[in-house]
Structure 1
């Protein structure tokens, strides 16, 4: 993840697309919320945004919409318990709606950006099929990033435990 961070920070074209959003204090508060156990919601959102942006650029898709909506796809501050208390549905169903509402308060959203944010939980919600290629890109990248954010630290923990176990085993022998 650190490698990706150093890349996106130095990508002037990407930064020009999202710079105004990254100055928003409400969005920056997402860095205080743990997400996928090992990262923050802000770092996850930037990871999704930047990887989606690179894919969109390669395939001549709308890079602006992908970068911005990718950054805003998880723009909500509530936790699962607060969302459950709303009695509007599951976390998977409600948080994209909250993200669109919150994003609309800090920037104007195109129909494409709204679709990307609302449909990023496609197959986990009843919001329907994404209408645009860009929505599919962000949806797939979101899943890739989430798996990566959980799997990489878990793999490192397992490697450390196995190494420790092997060291102890060899020390006994």
Structure 2
């Protein structure tokens, strides 16, 4: 079976292997994130793209790779679950942080990355460049996943009409 680029990156894998092998992280593969990918695939995409940016900018690649994997570590369908205390955008980073702390110990930067990855939708401003990067990459990946799904549906309809 062909490996993805991120799986062939030895440095990246050395930073995140323990998380990728954890059964609690693997459970994310059971949840659809943005129409056409699982939450696990989404988290890996955000993590690896953020890691690559951090590497080019000589930032903290370990913290960004690990927190990028854990930023959406929650086990519910966000389209259906409603909260009394606030919106999904507000609540899920806190839930993800709590779940992440059950998997591994986190430094302050990793906690900030997870908690602030919804910056723009929430008012909590990130403290670190790495937190901004994950927030922007997460938005970019979400938009890409959505439009990929939309394009796929449009193409299928077009084919079926023929």
TM over 0.5: yes
Deviation at 1:58, TM superposition (A): 0.5
| Structure 2 residue 55 is the aligned partner of structure 1 residue 57 | yes
- TM-score normalized with structure 2 length: 0.92
Match 2:99 to one of 93, 97, 102: 102
CA distance in 1: counterparts of 2:73 and 2:141, whole angstroms: 16
Looking at structure 2, the residues matched to 94 and 157 of structure 1 have their Cα atoms a distance apart, in angstroms, of 31
Match of 1:146 in 2: 142
The offset of 1:13, in angstroms, is 0.7
**Aligned position for 1:171:** none
> Please, which runs of 5 or more residues in structure 2 have no aligned partner?
none
* Structure 2 residue aligned with 1:44: 42
If asked which structure has higher relative contact order (CA below 8 Å, sep 6+), I would say 2
The structure that is helix-richer by fraction is 1
Q: Distance in 2 between matches of 1:43 and 1:17?
A: 17
Aligned pairs, number? 160
Structure with max Cα Rg: 1
Q: Give the one of 151, 155, 158 matched to 2:151.
A: 155
Q: Taking structure 1 as the reference length, what is the TM-score of the superposition?
A: 0.86
Structure 1: 5+ residue runs without aligned partners? 169-173
